Structure 1
Amino acid sequence: MRSWRLALVGLFALGGTASAAAPEIRIQDVIDFYRVYDAGQGAPTAAALQGYLDHGSDGLRQFTGLRHLTGESMAAAMEKHPKMFADAKTCLDVLPAVKRRLAQALPRLGQIYPQAKFPPITILVGQGNTGGTTSASGVLVGLEALCGASWMDPNAEDRFVHLVAHEYIHVQQPAAQTEPENPVLLFPALIEGGAEFLAELISGDVGYVRLKAWTKGREKEVETQFAADMDTANMKPWLYNGVGTEERPGDLAYWVGYRITKAYYVHAKDKRAAIARILTIDADMAKAFLADSGWTPGMALPDKVALPSP
């Protein structure tokens, strides 16, 4: 299943077990990158960038393999988009607060889902095309891409917290580890929407604040369109289709899947069992989950719901 909408497939080979402690959040790669960046006066050589990659953390080395990074490819990206890397430096200021908030939010996963895994989170600098993904080393966050994604949420601190929470939910979803053979829209919408809903439950809000705002007052219209399309194999109008436009933003299925998942949770008598089902849904269960949710296009739902009782 794809990680977030910059349309790159995440790999999910994760280890670790639930713990009362928060997962480790690593930011040394960002510090090392901007040391190289400053030494090169904003235009480091390919050789200097290769040194950053070669001496990076386990997470950066995983990311390098996943995204085929080299010093040359990074130098080319920086030459093409210098403002992206210059502006991303401003997001260094929010990282301490992001770490504090995630240290409070992510352990809630272990409280509501005892089987939760807690691999580390690595914040790094890539070449501008991946905001969040997962690998054998855990959750990997591209500072420069996510810092520039103000369309998701204009508040940079909130954006980092909620995106990482979304990716951390993907860590817990077995069905997010592989692409189904013959996917239709409903199933990935439930995977992404489930990640949005549970991210909100533990961190306070969804990653796609923009979609929440844009769909207000359009709920029935958008969801009626989705209901007509949910059995299609053509994902492009709904998923992994970029930022979109003011007339129709991208990734609207994230929001519809979030609403279906929330409806399921609201109607469930056993909230902990509901969370387990949200996390373990597979393609064969999608239609039954939809039916059990009680969702109908445009239905009224509470703005926020509470964590299950201890």
Structure 2
Amino acid sequence: MRTSGLTVALCSLVLFSGCAEDRGRPQIASHAVQSPVVDSDIGRFWQAFDAINATSDPAERLRLIQTVYIDRGTPGLPALMAARRYTAQQYVDAIDKWPKFWASVRPLTTRSQQAVGTLNGDVARFRRLYPDLRPATITYAIGVLRTGGTTVGNQVLIGAELALGDETVDVSELPEPLRTRLGTFFKSRPFENNAQNNIHEYVHTQQQETEGSLAQQALREGVAELVAELITGRKPALPVYSYGPANEAVIKVRFMAEMAGDDYANWLWNSASNPFGVSDVGYFVGYRIAQKYYDAAYDKRRAVKTLIELPYNDPAAIRAFVDRTGYLQGRR
């Protein structure tokens, strides 16, 4: 984790509240404002992009991305750059090496306001499901193709060059395995999934962070997937969600063998060059563990609270929770 006419309203804020009445997709009251969606970094990127392409001087190109885009960025931009270790030079190199990619994605990045069209209602539903919901800001900014969405503290940071894309994006210039991975990603029409992506990342702002085992990371991601689905009614249209149910027994065996380790290469944030032949199978496993717990719970709101507030940075506690669900052992 998304416009009609960003040239007119680049600095506009989409404000949302936490109370509404249910009538299909609820209309949200204009008071009780929480947090803004900010998309003004997108326009500044394209200003820098055009200026960079008007000069061949390497030092001037670096100065332009720094002064026009980075130095003038909203608070979310440096957070995004730090989270994905983006540098000014990486931006300049990407602009120089992938002109077809940028030409194809540029018109799509004007859709950020369309991408948050359901956000007011989704956040209100989230608060009703989880009354302890804390506010978060959402920033759409241009990155260097390493995240469609991440979080830092209470900031949801959406890579607009990925999250606003679709099957028309030209990935032919990208190096492997990025070309194949993003080709699959864009064919899933991520722009149409921004409602789910925004809430998935919003869930992460409510969770404890972790750099722990595969089990810890997979469950954290899976809980965000489940809660986002409960709120938006959507799963990402990615191969893992058709591959997973058809191969669940094999997936479980391998996950049990690797879950205590901290090597995510086969499971998370990866290409399809892994034993499964599809990306991000860890998301599916975490989702199914969370779903197993939620489905068995009598009090669904309490179950959501438990899932969101799990001590994700405690490996023993997470292992005990996973075992308690019985998912990996195949218990009903």
User: Normalised by the shorter chain, which TM-score bucket?
Assistant: 0.7 to 0.9
Q: In structure 1, how many angstroms separate the alpha carbons of the residues matched to 2:118 and 2:41?
A: 20
Conserved? CA contact 1:62–1:137, under 8 Å: no
C-alpha distance in structure 2 between counterparts of 1:43 and 1:223, whole Å? 54
| Closer/same/farther in 2, CA of residues 165 and 244 from structure 1, 3 Å limit | farther
**Partner of 2:327 in structure 1?**
295
Aligned partner of 1:226: which letter? F
1:307 alignment partner in structure 2? none
The CA deviation at 1:259 is 0.5
Contact residue 219 and residue 297 of structure 1 kept, 8 A: no
Alignment deviations for residues 227-280 of structure 1 (CA, whole Å, 9 cap, x no partner): 343334433222333343695212211101101100100001111111111111
Higher mean C-alpha deviation, range 111-120 or range 263-272: 111-120
User: Does 2:160 match 1:133?
Assistant: no
Deviations 1:17-53 (CA, angstroms, capped at 9, x unpaired): x944463111111122223334555889333222211
Percent identical pairs in the alignment equals 28
- In the alignment, the residues of structure 2 paired with residue 247 and residue 64 of structure 1 have an alpha-carbon distance, to the nearest angstrom, of 31
Task: Tell whether 2:204 aligns with 1:170.
Answer: yes
SS of 2:156's partner is strand
**Per-residue deviation, 1:69:** 4.2
- Measure, in 2, the Cα distance between the counterparts of 1:29 and 1:281: 34
| Match of residue 252 from structure 1 | 281
Please list, as runs of the form range in 1=range in 2, the aligned pairs for 1:91-240 lying within 5 A after superposition.
91-136=108-153, 138-146=155-163, 147=165, 149=182, 151-152=184-185, 154-174=188-208, 176=209, 178-180=210-212, 183=213, 185-207=214-236, 209-240=238-269
What is the match of residue 270 of structure 1?
299
Partner letter of residue 255 of structure 1?
F
Deviation at 1:75, TM superposition (A): 0.9
- State TM-score, norm by structure 1: 0.78
From the CA coordinates, give the structure whose radius of gyration is larger.
Answer: 2
1:24 has 2:36 as partner: yes
Q: Provide the C-alpha distance between the structure 2 equivalents of 1:263 and 1:211, rounded to a whole number of angstroms.
A: 18
Gaps of 5+ in 1: 4-17, 301-310
Query: Which amino acid is the alignment partner of residue 47 of structure 2?
Result: R
**Cα separation, partners in 2 of 1:225 and 1:68, compared to 1, 3 Å:** closer
Letter in 2 for 1:80: K
> What's the RMSD between the two structures over aligned residues?
2.9
* CA deviation string 1:156-178 (max 9, x = no partner): 3223332222111111102x2x4
Higher relative contact order (CA 8 A, sep 6+): 1
Residues 65-104 of structure 1 mapped to structure 2, 5 A cutoff: 65-104=82-121
Structure 1 residues 232 and 76: CA distance shift in structure 2, 3 A: closer
1:91–1:161 distance in 2 versus 1, CA, 3 Å: farther
Counterpart-to-counterpart distance in 2, 1:28 and 1:134? 18
Post-superposition CA distance 1:170-218 (Å, at most 9, x none): 11102x2x424xx3x3222211111111111112223463210222422
Which sits farther off after the overlay, 159-168 or 235-244? Answer: 235-244
Aligned partners of 1:43, 1:244: CA distance in 2, in Å? Answer: 38
TM-score (norm. length: structure 2): 0.73
CA distance change for structure 1 residues 142 and 210 in 2, over 3 Å: closer, same or farther?
A: same
| Corresponding position of 1:8 | none
Report the AA paired with residue 257 of structure 1: G
Q: CA 1:126–1:234 in 2, change beyond 3 Å: closer, same or farther?
A: closer
With 101-110 and 146-155 compared, the bigger mean Cα shift is at 146-155
Rounded to whole Å, the distance in 1 between the matches of 2:77 and 2:233 is 28
Distance 1:291 1:125 in 2: 40
What is the rounded CA distance, in whole Å, between the counterparts of 2:109 and 2:302 in structure 1? 39
**Could you tell me whether the CA contact under 8 Å between 1:119 and 1:137 is conserved in 2?**
yes
The match for 1:46 among 44, 62, 71 is: 62
Deviation at 1:299, TM superposition (A): 7.9
